[in-house]
Each structure stands twice: as structure tokens, then as C-alpha cells.
Amino acid sequence: MANEVCFRTLHLDTPWSLEAYESVGGYSSLKKIIAGKLTHEKVIDELKLSALRGRGGAGFPTGLKWSFMPRNMPGNKYVVCNSDEGEPGTFKDRDILRYNPHQLIEGMIIAGYVMNAEVGYNYMRGEFYEPYDRMESAIAEAKSKGYLGQKILGSDFNFELHNHMGAGAYICGEETALIESIEGKKGQPRFKPPFPANYGLFGRPTNVNNTESYASVPVILEKGGQWFLDLGKPNNGGTKIFSVSGHINNPGNFEVNMGTPFADLLEMAGGALGGTKLKAVIPGGSSSPILPIDIMMGLTMDYDAIGKAGSMLGSGAVMVLDETTCIVELAAITAHFYYEESCGQCSPCREGTGWMSRVINRILKGDGRAEDLDNLERVATNIMGRTICALGDAAAMPVKGFLKHYRHEFEYMIEHKRSLVKG
């Protein structure tokens, strides 16, 4: 079965409407909570049982994260959604926002209830005008029905939800940069600790989750943590939306069970574009190291399996590459991206991403030197673990991956001043 969780309205006309969402059981979890049939402890227990892990890329257990929030601390607390979708290859949150906004809204209201927070912000990337309009209408609909706002469904629980827009910065997908950005500043990540659960937005306890994570919550509470867990694999509960793109016949989002064999996902996406031979896959967004197709064909799509193979599931962005792909060119695009998006705060990342980008471009231009590959490896190694946030690692890991599996393509280009693949 596909489209069981975040995309469960997708088969309906106007899947984004409140009517469509209610027809599949939407807002019933909230009603259960308001009726006192589901305590905040029970919500967290169900989430822990479900093995829902952060869908933004890090895969941190959502139930555990929610339990860190000091719900009894007096004063404001915030629920923040990270809809700053920007990891290259990822386009799932845009579709949740466009096609099932109410489920995200319900997930955030429930989070507000569990954490005793009365205000939420949904941070969307600045280009998301269409999703913004959908979200604004959905918020208005939810308010008119009493699901959102003051005295929700006649109870004493209040929760206001606001959309916030970014203005073009990949780094704002990092949770503390995102918080800085809502505060109206440059998106430069903060040191952790203190973690957002203690010192977050406006210095108050804050929970940040990805769009897909929040949107999974209402269904987990409706059908039970065990049901969700059983969809996937132990420690990798539920379904996951995979954004499949690249050299593929039928690119798009596929919400399938965690642990689905890659070969099945590939088939769903229509196989290699024009029937060509596939070469490799970037399995979890451009930060995840590339894996040759032979390795990928033997893997299942879950955090543990992809992790064991030396890459990561990340945001679920599966970029499929056929045999015409020149890995040096691919490396140049990737390195340029991180160079462009480094916030400039930490020297290893600010300088290192520039070095990597320039060295790879030099090789691409035919000016590569014999020592370049060792230098690349060294720069990547020296960035890793030496920066405030994960962007440094995200820039270094793919470069290491390209060199690990396709070093010969780089060597060939340095020696022959042309691409092994494209000639």
C-alpha cells in the first residue's frame, strides 16, 4: 500500500480541503485529545513505540525529542515546523503543504498540546508562494471550525499557528539557523548546547520538527504506534516519502513503507530514463554519499540499511544517475552548492567548501594536478566535525563518497584532460 500517511488525501478531489481531510479521519486525534482520551504522556509513548524518526534528514526519534520539552516550565514555549525544504533532490514537503496542509496543522496543534505551547510557526522557504497560499487557507479553515485558535473545541487549550517565510538560504533548514531566521536575523546556526528544547525561539523552549514528521503524528495516534511501527522495520517505523528524481521515467514522490527494497522503488518510478543503464544513486539528498547501482540494488530503503552501506537515508531524496553521468561534473555541482550555501561562520566550512569547489572545477577544466585528489580528501576530512552545524559534514561527505567509488574518473580527467564518460 502506498500513500497511507502524509499523502492519504491524495486520491481525493481537492485533497487540500478540510472536507477531504476530515473524510479520511482528519482531526479525530485532536478530538480524542481534547476529550481527555489521550494524555500527553500517552502521545509521547505512542510516538516512541512507532519508531517515527525525524524526516528532515537526521533521523532522530521524534517521541524522544518531544519528551525533552519542559512542558511544566512557566512562560511561552514554541512549536516550530521546518518546511524550509532545500536539500537538493528533496521535494516532498512542498507536496505535503500543497496537498495535505491540514494534517501538518493537526500535527502541530497536537505538539502544542503535548508541550504546553500556545504558539507555532511554520517556516517555509521563500519560494513557496503556492504552498503558502494553501497553508494560509487551511489555517483559516481550521480556525473557523474551532480546531485552531483560542479555546480549541471548547476546551481551555489555545494554539495559534503562523506561517513564516524565508528568503533563500539553504542553511535555514538547520534548526538553530531557522530559529535565528524567524527572529529576523541572518541564518547562522547557534552552538549546541543549549538545545532548542531549553533555549530556542526568542530564548524559550522550542521544538523543531520537519513537515513530514509533524504530518505523520495524527495518523500514528489514530491507528496506534504499533500499527505505524509494523508498516516499516524495527527502529525504522512507518512509511517514508521518497522523492525520486534524475534519470528516471516517472519521477515524483512515493510514500511507501520504510524498508521497501530499492529495486521496488525504482520500478515504481518507471525505471531508468529511456531504458539506459543505471550507474549510481544518491540515496538521501546531495549530502549523502553516492552509492554505485550494484550496491543500491541489494538495499532496502531505511535508515539502518542505507547507513550500513556507507551512506544515509537523509531526507529521502533519491537521485538516480545513468551511465552518461560524469561523476566529476556531479562533484562540481555538489561542491559549488555547499560553497554557495555555507553561512561563513566557521572557517573550516567557509574556506573548505571554497577550496573543494575550486579544486574540482580546476580538474573539470582540464587543469587538475596529481596532488589534487589527496588534497580534496584532506580538506574534506579536516572540515568534518570541526564546525558549529552539520553543513560542513554535509559538504565533505559527498566529496568523500565520489572519491571512494569513482576515484578513477577523477584520475582519468586529471591525466587526459577530458571526461572518462563524456569524452
Partner 1 sequence: MTDFNYDKSLHLKKLLPKDAIDKIDNWIGKYPADRKRPPIIAALTIAQEHNGNYLTEDLMQAVAEYLDVPHIAVYEVATFYSMFHLNEVGEFVISVCNNISCSMRGANKVIEHLQNRLNIKVGETTGDGLFTIKTVECMAACGGAPMLEVNKVYYENLTEEKIDQIISDVTMLRSKKSKSTEVKK
Nearer to partner 1, 38 or 282 (CB): 282
User: Would you state the cell numbers that stand for residue 372, as one nine-digit string?
Assistant: 589534487
Residue 241 to residue 6: CA distance in whole angstroms:
8
Nearer to partner 1, 181 or 239 (CB): 181
Residue 225 to residue 148: CA distance in whole angstroms:
25
Q: Are the beta carbons of 202 and 44 closer than 8 angstroms? A: no
To the nearest whole angstrom, how small is the minimum distance from the Cβ of residue 328 to partner 1?
13
Nearer to partner 1, 65 or 279 (CB): 279
Nearer to partner 1, 147 or 170 (CB): 170
Give bridge partners of residue 283 from the DSSP assignment: 285
CA angle 206, 208, 211 (to 5 degrees): 145
To the nearest whole angstrom, how small is the minimum distance from the Cβ of residue 28 to partner 1?
29
Nearer to partner 1, 185 or 192 (CB): 185
Residue type present at position 413:
M
Q: Is the dihedral of CA 332, 337, 342, 343 positive or negative?
A: positive
To the nearest whole angstrom, how small is the minimum distance from the Cβ of residue 50 to partner 1?
26
Q: Which of 272, 408, 396 is nearest to 334 (CA)?
A: 396
Nearer to partner 1, 51 or 330 (CB): 330
To the nearest whole angstrom, how small is the minimum distance from the Cβ of residue 93 to partner 1?
7
Residue 125 to residue 173: CA distance in whole angstroms:
9
Residue type present at position 137:
S
Cα–Cα separations (whole angstroms), residue 367 to 358, 363, 400, 413, 414: 11, 5, 21, 9, 7
Nearer to partner 1, 44 or 171 (CB): 171
Q: Which residues bind partner 1 (CB under 8 A)?
A: 76, 85-91, 93-94, 121, 125-130, 162, 164-170, 181-187, 202, 243-247, 251-253, 282, 286, 317, 319, 321, 325, 329-330, 333-334, 337, 340-341, 343
Nearer to partner 1, 91 or 113 (CB): 91
Nearer to partner 1, 235 or 419 (CB): 419
Q: Are the beta carbons of 170 and 341 closer than 8 angstroms? A: yes
Q: What is the DSSP letter of 371?
A: T
Cα–Cα separations (whole angstroms), residue 159 to 21, 78, 79, 202, 233: 20, 10, 10, 17, 34
CA angle 349, 352, 357 (to 5 degrees): 120
Nearer to partner 1, 44 or 272 (CB): 272
To the nearest whole angstrom, how small is the minimum distance from the Cβ of residue 374 to partner 1?
25
To the nearest whole angstrom, how small is the minimum distance from the Cβ of residue 340 to partner 1?
6
Nearer to partner 1, 89 or 259 (CB): 89
To the nearest whole angstrom, how small is the minimum distance from the Cβ of residue 46 to partner 1?
30
Task: Give the ranges where 203-346 is alpha helix by DSSP (H).
Answer: 211-223, 225-231, 262-268, 293-296, 303-308, 327-341
To the nearest whole angstrom, how small is the minimum distance from the Cβ of residue 337 to partner 1?
6
Residue 360 to residue 83: CA distance in whole angstroms:
31
Residue type present at position 333:
I
Backbone angles phi, psi at 383, to 5 degrees: -80, -40
To the nearest whole angstrom, how small is the minimum distance from the Cβ of residue 351 to partner 1?
19
Q: Are the beta carbons of 291 and 266 closer than 8 angstroms? A: no
To the nearest whole angstrom, how small is the minimum distance from the Cβ of residue 187 to partner 1?
7
Cα–Cα separations (whole angstroms), residue 164 to 101, 124, 156: 15, 6, 26
- What element of type H or E holds 164? strand 160-165
To the nearest whole angstrom, how small is the minimum distance from the Cβ of residue 83 to partner 1?
10
